[in-house]
Amino acid sequence: MPFRVRHSLRWNSSDMRVVIPAQNIYRAGRCIPLGTPVDPLHHAPCSAPDDFMRHAVILGSTGSGKSNTASYLARELSRHASVVIIDWYGEHIDEGDVVIDPAAGDPVPMPADRVSMLELLEEVLDLSPSQSYVLMKVLRDGIGLEELVKEVEYLTPEGRWENESRLALIRRLSPLAYSNIRSVAGGWGDTALGDKLVSVLDLSRVHPVSSRRLVALSMLRYLETVASPGRRVFVIVEEAQNLVKANGVVARQVAEVRKKGLGIVLVTQSPSRLGEDILLNINVRIIHSLRSWADIEVMARSSALGSEAYRVLPKLRVGEALVEYHALSRPLLVRFPKVIEPGEGGEHRLDDAGIREPVDAEEAPPLPGERH
Ligand SMILES: Nc1ncnc2c1ncn2[C@@H]1O[C@H](COP(=O)(O)OP(=O)(O)O)[C@@H](O)[C@H]1O
Ligand SMILES: [Mg+2]
């Protein structure tokens, strides 16, 4: 393997085991336990791994418990298949059996063919049609980013407009080319992801942000090439709002990738930025507390909660969530066990009561420790 393989202490610690309710351990072999019902008269929900092949979301305001739930799910899903966490802030590195750290030189898989590379760069850099045209002229199969910038610099433009596009393209490409990542055309081959292991792609030290998006999206494309119905892969995408774009890679994968054996779990504070089209394509929804009206409104429209969303979602406590998937007749209130410790940045952002009035997304004051 081209990157560090480690054995996580926390992953196997007795602390982790005691927080899993007994009934879940009992059923863990066959299904994915989705928390413990707050009402003890309800059965604990346990969904089939196949439910996650039709994708999942973990939603909630900052500090509501999304990353903790993501860690918990990563471990449960890894009993059934390979799991990759695309870890925007490096919150999950202690939980990985394998850590892929591009900033420390671990190579990142990039598409080997020029058309896929063009699509990827178009999405990451938001290129205009004329900039894409100039890029297509110099793209070759397997070309590296640094070499690509040089090719654009050396290109003799055919007219004034082409020169302007060329210069704009150089401005956009250069930060990527000189960022701290090393790419490997075509990926690592299909043996790199350990079966039933959790691999964490640590993006926290990859700069600039466009580079982080490039690495994350090329990882998603790569996973699509290695996953198959006989070799299933689950990918958990933290801070998914940074990667989702109408008609982009994530939107397409959520709409069509199920048949290929890749189950995607999107984690985001902002369902309104994911958009209703994506939400409606997703089978398993785990909805932690939401505080912005815009986000609650989207959930009222795109989940079985309907207008109940306005009453319930702002009031959930940290770690509590409404779970919905096809086998449940209506959303079920559950509590997820705590499996991760607070991050170094002091991540307690909702107070424990969690009860707050919803606010306008525009006017919402940042919660303590919020990153954006
Ligand atoms: N299920 C839970 N039970 C108790 N505390 C939790 C739970 N989930 C999260 N927390 C606490 O809340 C803090 C924020 O959780 P985190 O998962 O980082 O939220 P988010 O990803 O939504 O910002 C954590 O550091 C932890 O202390
Ligand atoms: Mg988080």
Task: Write out pLDDT tens, residues 250-267.
Answer: 999 999 866 789 999 999
Cα-to-centroid distance, 274 and ligand 2 (Å):
16
**For residue 122, what pLDDT band results from cuts at 50, 70 and 90?**
very high
Ligand 1 closest atom vs CA 269: 22
pLDDT at 183 over 90: no
Q: What pLDDT, on a 0 to 100 scale, did the predictor assign at position 9?
A: 38
Task: State the Cα–Cα distance between residues 1 and 284, nearest whole angstrom.
Answer: 32
354 C-beta closer than 6 A to ligand 1: no
Task: State the Cα–Cα distance between residues 271 and 241, nearest whole angstrom.
Answer: 8
Q: What pLDDT, on a 0 to 100 scale, did the predictor assign at position 10?
A: 41
Query: Span 175-202, mean pLDDT?
Result: 81
**Which ligand is located closest to the Cα atom of residue 85?**
2
Name the residue with higher pLDDT: 361 or 38.
Answer: 38
Could you report how far apart the first and last alpha carbons of the chain are, in Å? 35
**Which ligand is located closest to the Cα atom of residue 239?**
2
By the 10 Å C-beta count (0-12 exposed, 13-18 middle, 19+ buried), 372 is classed as exposed
Query: Span 128-152, mean pLDDT?
Result: 93
Name the residue with higher pLDDT: 59 or 3.
Answer: 59
**For residue 365, what pLDDT band results from cuts at 50, 70 and 90?**
very low
By alpha-carbon position, which residue is closest to atom 24 of ligand 1? 342
348 C-beta closer than 6 A to ligand 1: yes
pLDDT at 94 over 80: yes
Parallel, antiparallel or unpaired: strands 4-5 and 98-100? antiparallel
Task: State the Cα–Cα distance between residues 80 and 182, nearest whole angstrom.
Answer: 31
Which single residue is written with the structure tokens 């471990």? 75
Task: State the Cα–Cα distance between residues 106 and 198, nearest whole angstrom.
Answer: 17
71 C-beta closer than 6 A to ligand 1: no
**For residue 367, what pLDDT band results from cuts at 50, 70 and 90?**
very low
Q: What pLDDT, on a 0 to 100 scale, did the predictor assign at position 349?
A: 35
Cα-to-centroid distance, 21 and ligand 2 (Å):
23
Mean pLDDT of all residues belonging to the chain: 85
DSSP state of 361: T
Q: How many other C-beta atoms lie within 10 A of the C-beta of residue 22? A: 7
Tokens matching residue 195 = 């079966």
| Identity at 290, one-letter amino acid code | L
Closest Cα partner for 20 from 34, 40, 41, 39? 34
pLDDT at 26 over 70: no
Which alpha helices (DSSP H) does the chain contain, by range?
9-12, 14-18, 22-27, 49-53, 66-77, 114-125, 129-138, 145-154, 160-177, 209-226, 249-256, 271-274, 276-280, 293-302, 308-312
Task: Write out pLDDT tens, residues 31-68.
Answer: 999 999 999 999 999 999 999 999 999 999 999 999 99
**Which ligand is located closest to the Cα atom of residue 344?**
1
Closest Cα partner for 288 from 316, 264, 266, 267? 316
Percent of the chain's residues with pLDDT above 70? 82
By alpha-carbon position, which residue is closest to atom 7 of ligand 1? 319
**For residue 22, what pLDDT band results from cuts at 50, 70 and 90?**
very low
Cα-to-centroid distance, 148 and ligand 1 (Å):
42
317 C-beta closer than 6 A to ligand 1: no
pTM for this prediction: 0.87
Cα-to-centroid distance, 73 and ligand 1 (Å):
14
Task: Write out pLDDT tens, residues 314-354.
Answer: 999 999 999 999 989 899 999 999 997 655 443 333 344 44
H/E segment holding residue 236: strand 233-237
338 C-beta closer than 6 A to ligand 1: yes
By alpha-carbon position, which residue is closest to atom 8 of ligand 1? 65
270 C-beta closer than 6 A to ligand 1: no
User: Cα 347 vs. chain centroid, distance in angstroms?
Assistant: 19
Q: What pLDDT, on a 0 to 100 scale, did the predictor assign at position 58?
A: 98
The residue whose CB lies within 8 Å of the most ligand 1 atoms, and thus the one to mutate among 62, 67, 68, is 68
Task: Write out pLDDT tens, residues 286-315.
Answer: 999 999 999 999 999 999 999 999 999 999
By alpha-carbon position, which residue is closest to atom 15 of ligand 1? 65
Which single residue is written with the structure tokens 């938001």? 126
- Apex CA 242: angle with CA 241 and CA 245, to 5°? 75
Cα-to-centroid distance, 228 and ligand 1 (Å):
33
Q: From the DSSP assignment, how many helices (H) and strands (E) are in the chain?
A: 15, 15
Tokens matching residue 241 = 């709002």
67 C-beta closer than 6 A to ligand 1: yes
Name the residue with higher pLDDT: 25 or 357.
Answer: 357
The domain defined by 4-107+197-335 folds into: Rossmann fold (3.40.50)
Cα-to-centroid distance, 347 and ligand 1 (Å):
8
Query: Span 262-275, mean pLDDT?
Result: 96
User: Do the Cβ atoms of 237 and 30 come closer than 8 Å?
Assistant: no
Q: State residue 351 phi and psi, 5-degree precision.
A: -70, 165
Name the residue with higher pLDDT: 362 or 51.
Answer: 51
Query: Span 268-294, mean pLDDT?
Result: 95
User: Do the Cβ atoms of 87 and 203 come closer than 8 Å?
Assistant: yes
Cα-to-centroid distance, 13 and ligand 1 (Å):
19
